[in-house]
Structure 1
Amino acid sequence: MGAVGVSDPAGDSELSYGKSGFKGLVAEPYLFFLACFASIGGVLFGYDQGVISGVLVMSDFAKQFPTLSTDDTLQGWMVSVLTLGAMFGALANGPIADAFSRRWSILLANVIFQIGSIIQAASINIPMIFIGRFIAGLAIGQLSMVVPLYISELAPPNLRGGLTALQQLGITVGIMVAFWLNYGTQYIGGTGDGQSPAAWRFPLALQCLFSLVLGVGTFYLPYSPRWLMMKDREEEALSTLSRIRRVPQNDHRVQTEILEIKASALFDRETIAATYPGITSPVRLSFESYKSLFVLPHLNRRLVIACLLQLIQQFTGINAIIYYAPQIFENIGLTGSSVNLLATGVVGIINFFSTIPAILFLDYFGRKSLLLVGAVGMGVCQFIVGTIYAVYKDSWGSHTDAGWATAVFIWMYISCFAFSIGCVNWIIPSEIFPPGVRAQAVGIAIGVNWLSNFIVALITPRMLNSIEFGTFYFFLGIYPFSPPLLSLYPIYLSKQT
């Protein structure tokens, strides 16, 4: 297969920068490194999601905060308050990313994340935990919005899907590291009453290290060429584009791409001037940009698609498993903190390795194909898990083989999620909107993701205790809504997608 020409849904015409998939990624080591480094933001996201599930079942944590370990409602709020903060962070970061650049908004998010992480690790009472998780959530929301946006604006059309999917790979790395770190640190001082506070404080403190690495590295990341052009820094935009494409500035592909970026920026600027004559206030213009997403039909339809995709992703129940995996495995008869944390660790490994095919083949097979295949696989696994749960819910102790069979299908469900909607939902919002409102639109879409995440995290503990196997059937009910949504968005994407 030779070099591919891809029609860029973000506004580029036919540009050929090489092959898609694995060969294309190998041929662009500098761009691949930049995307991987920026995806440390995803590591923070995944780590903070994954670490809390292991902390909740540790003996010393239960001793320090007995109310949290016994009150399902309070436990749900503790887990979900991070997602509530993330929703506000994602919504607020659109104007910040436009005003100060994608690059510096990543740095700001890391500063906020450090504060939240330190408060969590040093918590001596429940309010400190809640405040720390909310502050960390603000930063995670910012990063979850700006990292895929930043990567998509750096990437050439033929690699945009794979490189943007590195955000999801970063999330799976964070979850995997958190799960296995929890498995190891539970032995500090023993797993019973003698367990040391370091067993849960150390995992919460370690996330500061990842944030510090990304924060320092931000000073070495390039600006997005599209953002530079938005700020009338045309020469710098051309220089940056040439550097990240690794071709001379006079190369016809770079010249074509920079002209398209310039034309897009000029079109947005003139459209805003014509639509809102006499308005020069950045705050008012930002408000009007948000307003246009809801009142202009062509933008409103795209926003509905982007937001519904985020809602569906969360109501497949993925984070019900990520947040509460140890409790779920314990409920199905995998007793003992070591056993259920080990089973939880397998979730992290499968999640990580199942994301890799999406990075390699997403630009080859397309977004829609992977979404459909993943939806079918996830639906089948959810149905089987719910059915086994219903049959053996009162006799797990004498049917350990049924418990392990349930665990296997949970792992298969994780795999199907990872290569499909787990990756695609980060890519679509940054592809289907014009540059002038892209940051605001992505912020709203990711904000909906976090709001849905918040609801799932809040209701899952009570669902697992009250309707038990019905929890899986509840999340299974969302799958019929996927095909109608998938039929809506291809008009906004290239043939490649």
Structure 2
Amino acid sequence: MPAEDAQIPLLSPMSRDLRSPSPPPSTDASDVKAFEATSVVDVPSSVSSAEPAATAIPSPSYMVALLAVCASISGFMFGYDTGYISAALVQVKDDLSHRYLTNGDKEFITSATSLGALLGAVLGGMSANAIGRRGVLLVSNVIFVVGTIIQLAAKTVWTMIAGRFVMGWGVGCASLIAPLMISELAPAKYRGRLIVVNGIMITGGQLVAYFINWGLESVKHGWRVSVGLCMVPAVTQFVLFWFLPDTPRFYVMNHNLDKAKQVMRKIYKNPTEAFVEAQVNEMVASNSKVPGDNPWQQAWNSVRIVHTNPANFRALILACGLQGIQQFTGFNSLMYFSTTIFEALGFDNPTATSIIIAATNFVFTIVAMCIIDIVGRRRILLWALPIMMAAMIVSAIAYHYIGISFHDDAVDIAAGNIHGWGIVIIMMMVMFAGSYAIGIGTSAWTGVELFSDVNVRSVGGMYATCTNWAGSLVIASTFLTMLVNITPTGTYALFAALCAVSFLFIFFLYPETAGLELEETSSLLQDGFGVKKARQLRKQRRRQRQNTHDNA
């Protein structure tokens, strides 16, 4: 074995190397400082890369898929909200405040959910360790329904904005917890694909919303029907999770090992007791006690630890960077305003045209689910981002030759060949949406797996999700203004430049985590960003699995 490979110990599924018991909780500054210095997970060295696991890992049961799908209903809610508002901005006509919506109205209505979601993500992140991942989802369902009811009753623009803001709180909580919950449940072999299930539900929700809006286009107040249907997934998820458990890692964090073992027996097919014990012990070993007299003090100390522990801070940079890339490369400008854009370009049925973009996003998200754990997150991103950049550059050129200029409440078109260039723009948007869906659209939600300790993972996820919604807020509240002030050509050229910067970020900083156990991924960032270390660790993991297979 090469010396460089031998230097990186692997976590074995059967490892029983445990840390010393954690000291009693404390809020002393010295205790917090001591924890900050030691909270990186020490990877047990008792199993070398050539040593086979003592027992074959059992296959996951239907319960893993059930929990993943139920958690991903949050993604459907998120996607449906994004999809219905795109068409509603056009279909609402003078139904609110007895006047047609201005560009400012559209930006306020759209961005209100993003602002609420930004605050909701903070609420979800700070309470996930106190009331559980499942508890946060149940609360988010109630908030989502309340926001929907306010929108249904809205008679003015500002009431609509208020309803969207309240709904945003629920969306923000749920968008944080769903990928976190899936990452904590899923075996390493399937983790990427199961997290992509959440992405499929997001894109599926968008597509369903577009089809519903298309069907209701000629129905008076049809947009209110599409708003009311938001309650269906929220109520469904609430009922399902009322009867389902939380994640084993949450139970371990709260010292309920019996419940953790009970859930482990459900999420694997016929696991041996030795396997269950070893898995729970491994979670215990990676679960350092955060100082604090109660869950809320511990949550605040977790915030400090994320910033002061070097490995966790690197994970924070990567997780937030991925979410920033997802937003600032411009995709949500399509989701929020595609109907408005296609109407401005003169398409007879802009809602139906927008379905093409949503369908592309949905189909390529399914493709991502099939290949993400085989090809790897990093490699896919390095292929997808240049394609996204090229699509934005061609779109900028097309808008230039159309000669389109946006004003506060009107659109001027100078060129006569708008139809031909309009087709080019649709083709580029399809290419952009497909590349986005297969790449950053799904991979951004895997960043939470890089945090070294289960106690800080929810806080790290909170920061990442807040970055996502902050970016969404910026795009939603400025996109139409950018079209007016720097022209569509300048806007899409800016998005192309941000795609280029994003490529450099992934190339130099983002390590490949496909195929690694959740506890292994956290070891990558101890001494740097771990791009090279990840390659070595994945080679060793493949070698170990091959040895296990040969000795079976």
TM-score normalised by L of structure 2: 0.80
* CA 123–76 in structure 1, closer or farther in 2 if over 3 Å, else same: same
1:360 aligns with 2:373: no
Aligned to 2:238: 215
- The answer on whether the counterparts of 1:11 and 1:260 sit within 8 Å (CA) in structure 2 is no
Aligned to 1:488: 509
* CA 431–11 in structure 1, closer or farther in 2 if over 3 Å, else same: farther
- The answer on whether the counterparts of 2:211 and 2:355 sit within 8 Å (CA) in structure 1 is yes
- State the alpha-carbon separation in 1 of the partners of residues 195 and 41 from structure 2: 13
> How far does residue 249 in structure 1 lie from its aligned partner after superposition?
4.3
> How far does residue 401 in structure 1 lie from its aligned partner after superposition?
2.2
* CA 75–349 in structure 1, closer or farther in 2 if over 3 Å, else same: same
Match of 2:333 among 316, 320, 332: 320
Match of 2:305 among 292, 311, 314: 292
Equivalent runs, 1:382-421 vs 2, <5 Å: 382-393=392-403, 394-395=413-414, 398-421=417-440
- State the alpha-carbon separation in 1 of the partners of residues 428 and 340 from structure 2: 16
Whichever residue aligns with residue 382 of structure 1, its letter is: M
Equivalent runs, 1:157-306 vs 2, <5 Å: 157-188=188-219, 196-197=220-221, 199-252=222-275, 254-265=276-287, 268-269=288-289, 272-273=290-291, 279-306=292-319
- State the alpha-carbon separation in 1 of the partners of residues 296 and 179 from structure 2: 24
* CA 109–332 in structure 1, closer or farther in 2 if over 3 Å, else same: same
- State the alpha-carbon separation in 2 of the partners of residues 167 and 435 from structure 1: 20
Instruction: Kindly indicate which of the two structures has a greater share of residues assigned to helix.
Output: 1
- State the alpha-carbon separation in 2 of the partners of residues 68 and 455 from structure 1: 26
- The answer on whether the counterparts of 2:384 and 2:439 sit within 8 Å (CA) in structure 1 is yes
Match of 1:456 among 448, 471, 475: 475
What secondary structure, in the 3-state scheme, does the structure 1 residue paired with 2:255 have?
coil
- State the alpha-carbon separation in 2 of the partners of residues 72 and 11 from structure 1: 53
> How far does residue 447 in structure 1 lie from its aligned partner after superposition?
0.5
1:47 aligns with 2:47: no
- State the alpha-carbon separation in 1 of the partners of residues 42 and 370 from structure 2: 23
- State the alpha-carbon separation in 2 of the partners of residues 456 and 385 from structure 1: 18
Aligned to 2:345: 332
1:209-246 Cα distance to aligned partner (Å, 9 max, x none): 11111111111222100000111111110111111012
- State the alpha-carbon separation in 2 of the partners of residues 297 and 121 from structure 1: 47
- State the alpha-carbon separation in 2 of the partners of residues 77 and 455 from structure 1: 11
- State the alpha-carbon separation in 2 of the partners of residues 171 and 10 from structure 1: 33
- The answer on whether the counterparts of 1:148 and 1:164 sit within 8 Å (CA) in structure 2 is yes
| 473-482 or 38-47: bigger deviation | 473-482
What secondary structure, in the 3-state scheme, does the structure 1 residue paired with 2:371 have?
helix
Aligned to 2:19: none
- State the alpha-carbon separation in 2 of the partners of residues 106 and 145 from structure 1: 10
Aligned to 2:187: 156
RMSD value, Cα: 2.4
> How far does residue 320 in structure 1 lie from its aligned partner after superposition?
0.5
- State the alpha-carbon separation in 1 of the partners of residues 363 and 12 from structure 2: 29
The number of residue pairs the alignment matches comes to 464
Q: Gaps spanning 5+ residues in structure 2: where?
A: 1-9, 14-39, 404-412, 512-523, 540-552
1:442 aligns with 2:473: no
- The answer on whether the counterparts of 1:182 and 1:200 sit within 8 Å (CA) in structure 2 is yes
Aligned to 2:354: 344
- State the alpha-carbon separation in 2 of the partners of residues 70 and 111 from structure 1: 29
* CA 86–101 in structure 1, closer or farther in 2 if over 3 Å, else same: same
- State the alpha-carbon separation in 2 of the partners of residues 18 and 156 from structure 1: 10
> How far does residue 18 in structure 1 lie from its aligned partner after superposition?
6.8
What secondary structure, in the 3-state scheme, does the structure 1 residue paired with 2:229 have?
helix
> How far does residue 124 in structure 1 lie from its aligned partner after superposition?
1.0
- State the alpha-carbon separation in 1 of the partners of residues 392 and 124 from structure 2: 35
1:70-91 Cα distance to aligned partner (Å, 9 max, x none): 4222321110010000001111
- State the alpha-carbon separation in 2 of the partners of residues 12 and 117 from structure 1: 47
| 32-41 or 168-177: bigger deviation | 32-41
- The answer on whether the counterparts of 2:377 and 2:443 sit within 8 Å (CA) in structure 1 is yes
Whichever residue aligns with residue 389 of structure 2, its letter is: G
Match of 1:476 among 481, 485, 496: 496
What secondary structure, in the 3-state scheme, does the structure 2 residue paired with 1:232 have?
coil
- State the alpha-carbon separation in 2 of the partners of residues 449 and 149 from structure 1: 15
> How far does residue 381 in structure 1 lie from its aligned partner after superposition?
0.7
- State the alpha-carbon separation in 2 of the partners of residues 149 and 226 from structure 1: 11
- The answer on whether the counterparts of 1:56 and 1:69 sit within 8 Å (CA) in structure 2 is no
- State the alpha-carbon separation in 1 of the partners of residues 476 and 447 from structure 2: 24
Aligned to 2:125: 94
- State the alpha-carbon separation in 2 of the partners of residues 37 and 12 from structure 1: 32
1:418-471 Cα distance to aligned partner (Å, 9 max, x none): 010000000112333421200011011101110111000000111223312221
* CA 28–350 in structure 1, closer or farther in 2 if over 3 Å, else same: farther
- State the alpha-carbon separation in 2 of the partners of residues 320 and 212 from structure 1: 29
What secondary structure, in the 3-state scheme, does the structure 1 residue paired with 2:488 have?
coil
- State the alpha-carbon separation in 1 of the partners of residues 173 and 462 from structure 2: 8
* CA 433–67 in structure 1, closer or farther in 2 if over 3 Å, else same: farther
- State the alpha-carbon separation in 1 of the partners of residues 140 and 126 from structure 2: 14
> How far does residue 29 in structure 1 lie from its aligned partner after superposition?
3.6
> How far does residue 282 in structure 1 lie from its aligned partner after superposition?
3.3
Whichever residue aligns with residue 410 of structure 1, its letter is: M
Aligned to 1:192: none
> How far does residue 31 in structure 1 lie from its aligned partner after superposition?
1.7
- The answer on whether the counterparts of 2:133 and 2:246 sit within 8 Å (CA) in structure 1 is yes
- The answer on whether the counterparts of 1:68 and 1:75 sit within 8 Å (CA) in structure 2 is no
- State the alpha-carbon separation in 2 of the partners of residues 6 and 177 from structure 1: 42
- The answer on whether the counterparts of 2:385 and 2:499 sit within 8 Å (CA) in structure 1 is yes
What secondary structure, in the 3-state scheme, does the structure 2 residue paired with 1:165 have?
helix
- The answer on whether the counterparts of 2:203 and 2:358 sit within 8 Å (CA) in structure 1 is yes
Aligned to 1:428: 447
- The answer on whether the counterparts of 1:358 and 1:420 sit within 8 Å (CA) in structure 2 is yes
- State the alpha-carbon separation in 2 of the partners of residues 240 and 359 from structure 1: 25
- The answer on whether the counterparts of 1:69 and 1:75 sit within 8 Å (CA) in structure 2 is no
Whichever residue aligns with residue 84 of structure 2, its letter is: V
- The answer on whether the counterparts of 2:127 and 2:296 sit within 8 Å (CA) in structure 1 is no
- State the alpha-carbon separation in 1 of the partners of residues 273 and 203 from structure 2: 40
| 297-306 or 106-115: bigger deviation | 297-306
Whichever residue aligns with residue 470 of structure 1, its letter is: G
Q: Gaps spanning 5+ residues in structure 1: where?
A: 189-195, 274-278
- The answer on whether the counterparts of 2:402 and 2:417 sit within 8 Å (CA) in structure 1 is no
